Amino acid sequence: MSQPRSLVTPISLVVAVLCAGWAIYATQHRPEPGAAPTGGGGRSNAVPAVTLAAVRSERVAQRLEALGNARANESVDVSSKTSNVVIGVKFRDGERVQRGQVLVQLDDAATRADVAAAQAAVTESEAQYNRSRELLNTQALSKSQFDQLEATLKANRARLQAATSRLEDTLIRAPFSGRVGLRRVSVGALISPGDVITTLDDTSVIKLDFAVPENFVATLREGLTVRATAPAFPGRAFSGKVASIDSRVDQNTRSVTVRALLANDDGALKPGMFMSVQLAKEERDALLIPEEALTPEADKQFVFVVTDGKAERREVRIGGRQPGTVEVLAGLSPGERVIVEGTQKVRDGAAVSGIEREPELVADDSGHAASASPPSSRQ
């Protein structure tokens, strides 16, 4: 006897719904490519895939960049020691002057009179002193009177020296060779001590002061080469040497001031100019790894080293940094492989599937392309 026709449609519907549900379940629970098969509902034992890079040993010349201010080799504000009237200006604005050259002459009428009076007093005292020596030999003059005349002579000579010094102060001279600035006084002006007459700078050599972080202090020394540039002279570099290093580290900035000397024969550089400085250290062998291989924790740095297909978490001590790379001072050996991508999926001692990072081409200092990592190979 045949099955009733009215039951065929509901049964087909149920079968279709069950098939669709199973297809959706199978799609959502499909295993990832490369994952190990699971059995009996157990947990997945998939090996994470990571990207590796080799620890490279290279010759590096670390360069420190800083900002500095240019200063004259010698610099002074020219002023007067006393209040007086200017009767002569002996220089032009911006002129180069020699040491000892007269720049300004002050009124010297009163001081010349003082010198003449002091000279007359010395002449009279010397005459009395010479006569008293003869009288002392004949005992016509007591020793105390002779001593008084000798003291008077010495006092008059001291007054003459003081008057001569005041007369010399009416001539304001250049203390060293250099270039004067703008003239700030005129003939007839009354000037006082501290009033700036002009400026004087020796710019044949420029002192360049810049700050260096304290963690570089151990590598600083006199004689290191510096290269400086100024916005006023695009494309031009000024070379010099480190001349001195400050004896103290600034407690606020944690830096030490370094002074370099730059040759300035053509006078292009001016005191007060803002300059960018590159301090080149000596070349040395260094171990380099990609910067993304580091996994910081508190004040320590760690990397994952892959050996025989297993990851080992290892603490390292790092040094200087360059764009994309970091120097390793301790904890790694040349040729070891470190994980640069996928560290978040790795645990210490876990198995990993490593793939070498493809080499990247970067431009070196000379502008040529160079390989940033060793050739690709399977771990």
Ordered per-residue pLDDT tens for the chain, 379 residues? 444 444 445 666 666 667 666 666 655 555 544 444 444 444 446 778 888 888 888 877 667 888 999 999 999 999 999 999 999 999 999 999 999 999 999 999 999 999 999 999 999 999 988 888 878 777 777 888 888 888 999 999 999 999 999 999 999 999 999 999 999 999 999 999 989 999 999 999 999 999 988 878 888 888 888 999 999 999 899 999 999 999 999 888 889 999 999 999 888 999 999 999 988 766 677 888 888 888 888 888 888 888 888 888 888 888 777 778 888 888 888 888 888 887 788 788 888 877 777 655 444 443 333 444 333 333 3
Nearest-CA neighbor of 340 among 134, 80, 38, 56? 56
Give the per-residue pLDDT at 361.
40
**Where do the domains of the chain lie?**
49-61+284-371, 64-73+203-280, 108-169
Give the per-residue pLDDT at 341.
84
Give the per-residue pLDDT at 263.
92
Give the per-residue pLDDT at 316.
87
Whole-number Cα distances in Å, 338 to 47, 147, 291: 17, 95, 11
Give the per-residue pLDDT at 77.
95
| Residue written as token pair 């924790």 | 297
Give the per-residue pLDDT at 26.
59
Superfamily holding 64-73+203-280: Efflux pump adaptor protein, beta barrel domain (2.40.30.170)
CATH 2.40.420.20 is the classification of domain 49-61+284-371: yes
d(CA 305, CA 331): 10
| C-alpha torsion angle, residues 183, 188, 193, 196 (rounded to 10) | -10
Same topology, domains 49-61+284-371 and 64-73+203-280? Answer is no
Whole-number Cα distances in Å, 363 to 40, 80, 367, 368, 372: 55, 59, 5, 5, 9
Give the per-residue pLDDT at 17.
66
d(CA 295, CA 304): 9
Give the per-residue pLDDT at 42.
43
Whole-number Cα distances in Å, 220 to 114, 173, 319: 57, 40, 15
The neighbour count for residue 108, using CB atoms within 10 Å, is 18
CATH fold for the domain made of 108-169: Helix Hairpins (1.10.287)
Helix (H) or strand (E) holding 276: strand 274-280
d(CA 6, CA 69): 99
Give the per-residue pLDDT at 331.
81
